[in-house]
Amino acid sequence: MTTAKDLFIIAIGRPRPDHVVGQGDLSLALAGAELIDLISAGAITLDGDHIVPGGPPTLDDPLLGEAAAQLTRQAPYERIEDWLWRRGRDLSTVYQTTLEEAGDLTRKRSSRLSFGSGSMETVDTPSSRRAADRWDEEEPVLAALASVVGIGDGRSDDEPDLADEAVTNVVATVHDAVMELEAVRQRRTIENAAFANLWRG
């Protein structure tokens, strides 16, 4: 299992009752989780906010391998933020499908008319137990990424307790991207409300 898969399982299995994780937010965080696992695997390093690929990595996970294959391998290398938006497009749907096919997620019996991750629930599998163990142990990387998308006990404003500067950089960039996405949502809401008021006249 990867950090991204663990994060998706936690997003499904441990949501806050007062907070729904948006698919866009989760997709950005999943792309960030992939970067962090690629750093851990020695597949990439960071030069400031640019992603520098290393040699061909040995990766057991197909989605992580796919992420590595999509890296920009010629200078000027891609910025972390640009990677998050490019790789993150509809990434939550990809992970939902993959985990459902693997038997780690199933559709809720009571949610036949629901769509997206809200209609899913975790299955008691070794993978879901591993994700739950990381969560219960407050593993710093998983906790930091979950906090960015509003999962957990509301500590999203706290600095993540991460020892690695590159990982901290990725988490901070994910946070900024999620905030940017929220600003876009709010702007659209205001514009739509203004348009509706115009027609009501």
Instruction: Return d(Cα 74, Cα 200) in angstroms, integer.
Output: 54
Per-residue pLDDT of the chain (201 residues; tens, 9 = 90+): 899 999 999 998 876 655 678 889 999 999 999 999 999 999 999 999 999 998 777 788 999 999 999 999 998 999 999 999 999 999 999 999 999 999 999 887 654 434 454 578 899 999 999 999 999 999 999 999 999 998 875 444 445 567 789 999 999 999 999 999 888 777 777 766 665 665 665
Contact criterion met (CB below 8 Å) for 75 and 51 = no
Instruction: Return d(Cα 141, Cα 163) in angstroms, integer.
Output: 10
Q: Where are the domains of the chain?
A: 3-200
Q: Kindly report the pTM of this predicted structure.
A: 0.85
Instruction: Return d(Cα 188, Cα 169) in angstroms, integer.
Output: 29
For residue 108, the model assigns a pLDDT of 76
